[in-house]
A and B are shown apart, each in its own frame.
Chain A
Amino acid sequence: MSFAGLSLGNTPPLQVPLRFFVTAPLFLFLAGVLLLTAGWWSVPGRWSPLWLALTHLWVVGFMLMVMLGALQQVIPVLLGSALPGARAVAFWGHLLLVAGTLSLVWGFLSEWKLCFVLAAALLPAAVLLVGGTACVALGRSPSRHASRLSLALALAALGFTLVIGSWLALGHGGLAVLARRYTDLHLGWGLLGWTVLLVSGVAWQVVPMFQITPRYPLVMMRWFGALHFLALSVWSVARWRLDAPWLQWVGAAWLSVSLALFAAITLRLQAKRRRRVADSTLDFWRLSMISLLLAVLSWWARRMGILLPAPLPAILFVTGFVGSAILGMLYKIVPFLVWLHLTNRAQASGVVPRGLPNMKQVIPNERSKRLFRLYTAWLPLSWAAPFRMEWLGPPAGLLLMAVALVLARHLHQAVRLYRRRRRGLERGNGSHAASFHSP
């Protein structure tokens, strides 16, 4: 076993994950604005500028933004390996990601070709920078935990998603033939690959941690990532290379079983939790897993001929499964990081870290409950919107803007509290409640 690169204490500077987290609500807000104006867009359907802009605001501006931020925190803490050049990588990665997302979205809305070319350069650069450094850290990690393989496969899937995405963007930009038949491949590897592998890889560790549940079965943690990746590969090859419908069904069935198994086992573990206190993160996670089951069911229902809008399974997946999981995680990670960085700072200056704001003082229960209620009110609207976009778009847009504003406010309050207390520590008065020097 190699212990090179071992860094048990190296939690990255707070601004590394935080700059990604605090930017995400901005893109949620923009998505809300677009939904609000849904009725004004004349071209309906999957290829309309509105849909393309909306989906990318959500999956890149919100999902990828938070996920890349979290990845930079999770690898050092859960797998004991720091990302090289963490501060600079986060700064440039974030800047490139924000600029790339804005160009892409503006490209869809304005159909200005240059925007797509810019996005095809900026977004891969962002992911290459953050994802590449994450790969180096994973390679150096001394941990043999199943999370490591899941995260490595997730990054491979993200790379593949990005290659196809950039090619499609160049198609929109007029520099390549626009190969729309590969859009499902882009979508499949982004959602079922990168997203599922990342969420599951993190879940192996955080689900038992947060609620003191039994651990996931060892055999599941060991094989899930590889088998899921293989299922996605089978589905892709069957559909785009072999043109073999039967194999495509095998791939789709295998993927469905994999997703349903992950959701069902997570719910079962959570039902067996030892921790019985009310917790918004638990509520968000349950909502997330139930939505994942609904997404799988609705996909099969459509295949069986039940008349459901084509985008429904994907919407259930991104807003229900991923959106809920992300919000649940943010309301745990951000308060913990604020406390941890204040504590580390106090300790470094020789002060016993007492009386510092605990997690519930950084984001009180009422705030996380408020966001949960608001989000659960918005979710059904997001699922119903594709049935009647012109009616349901505006209320869905307004409510999403409210979700974004509340989230932004809670994160902002946490950052302000951190800054205030850090200044207090720097002035040398330790904490307000108790400040005495270590013996």
Chain B
Amino acid sequence: MIKEFMEKDHQRCDRLFAEAESLVSESRWEEGESAFHEMREAIERHFSMEEKLFFPRFEAVSGMTMGPTQVMRQEHEQMRALFDDMEESLKAREADAYLGDSETLLIMMQQHNAKEEQVLYPMLDAHLAVEAERLIEEAGGIDR
């Protein structure tokens, strides 16, 4: 159930990603900038749900603190670095640089999501079954 909830959120982030990318590729800078910020906001919020809520609970219950959740946190940092590069390109109106970073972000994000959806979220569901409903409700209230 955590899996379904988070998968839906991945799909929302994907949609926002595609929107921002296509606006920038058409040099519609102002709309592109606002779409980028909307995407970044959505993904940061997704990261926060994991880093502030699901991962700590999972680590507490499973005792796995240096395992898969740690790897996922590192990948979040890698994606954040790409966001910073993309923001700079947007400010400088450099479409090629933005599109190169966004392509890289897409593949990074997709393989990250695949690992979460296939391996990590089923583990969360297995370990956090009794509190899943409460956690999802709580996750809904997280800003970023």
Contacts and interface: CB of A to CB of B under 8 A. Distances in A.
Interface of A: 1, 3, 6, 8-9, 77-80, 142-145, 205, 209-210, 212, 274-277, 332, 335-336, 339-340, 343, 347, 352-355, 358-361, 438
B81 A353 contact: yes
B96 interface: yes
Interface string B98-110: 0111011011101
| Dominant secondary structure at the A interface | loop
A275 B21 contact: yes
Contact of A209 (B67, B71, B107): B107
B115 interface: yes
A178 B118 CA distance: 47
A339 B104 contact: yes
Contacts of A1: 122-123, 126
A401 to B, nearest CB: 30
Interface stretch (B28-36, B41-49, B72-80, B136-144): B72-80
Contacts of B85: 354-355, 358
Nearest to B119: A80
Given A8-B72, A275-B18, A359-B100, A205 B114 contact: yes
Interface string B9-32: 000001101100110010000000
B120 interface: yes
A298 to B, nearest CB: 35
Contact of A340 (B96, B99, B100, B108): B108
Contacts of A144: 118, 122
B4 interface: no
Contacts of B21: 275, 277
A336 B104 contact: yes
9 contacts: A1-B122, A9-B68, A77-B114, A77-B115, A142-B123, A144-B118, A332-B107, A347-B78, A358-B100
A209 B110 contact: yes
A6 B66 CA distance: 12
Most buried by B among A77, A144, A145, A277: A277
B118 A79 contact: yes
B133 interface: no
A320 B25 CA distance: 30
B103 A360 contact: yes
B100 A143 contact: no
A427 to B, nearest CB: 20
| Dominant secondary structure at the B interface | helix
Interface of B: 14-15, 17-18, 21-22, 25, 67-68, 70-72, 74, 77-78, 81-82, 84-85, 96-97, 99-101, 103-104, 106-108, 110-111, 114-115, 118-120, 122-123, 126
Nearest to B96: A360
Contacts of B70: 9
A302 B108 CA distance: 45
Nearest to B120: A8
Given A347-B74, A354-B81, A80 B14 contact: no
Contacts of B97: 358
Contacts of A205: 114
A120 B112 CA distance: 40
Nearest to A279: B103
Contacts of B106: 209-210, 212, 275
Nearest to B103: A359
A145 B118 contact: yes
A201 to B, nearest CB: 13
A80 B115 contact: yes
Most buried by B among A145, A212, A361: A212
B37 to A, nearest CB: 19
Contacts of B122: 1, 142, 144
Contacts of B25: 276-277
A32 to B, nearest CB: 31
A340 B79 CA distance: 11
A202 to B, nearest CB: 12
A78 B111 contact: yes
Contacts of A145: 118
A352 B85 CA distance: 11
Given A336-B107, A360-B96, 5 more contacts: A9-B71, A143-B118, A212-B15, A212-B106, A352-B77
A359 B107 contact: yes
Nearest to A9: B71
B26 to A, nearest CB: 9
Contact of B119 (A143, A332, A339, A361): A143
A274 B15 contact: yes
A337 B72 CA distance: 17
B8 to A, nearest CB: 13
Contacts of A339: 104
Given A275-B18, A277-B22, A142 B84 contact: no
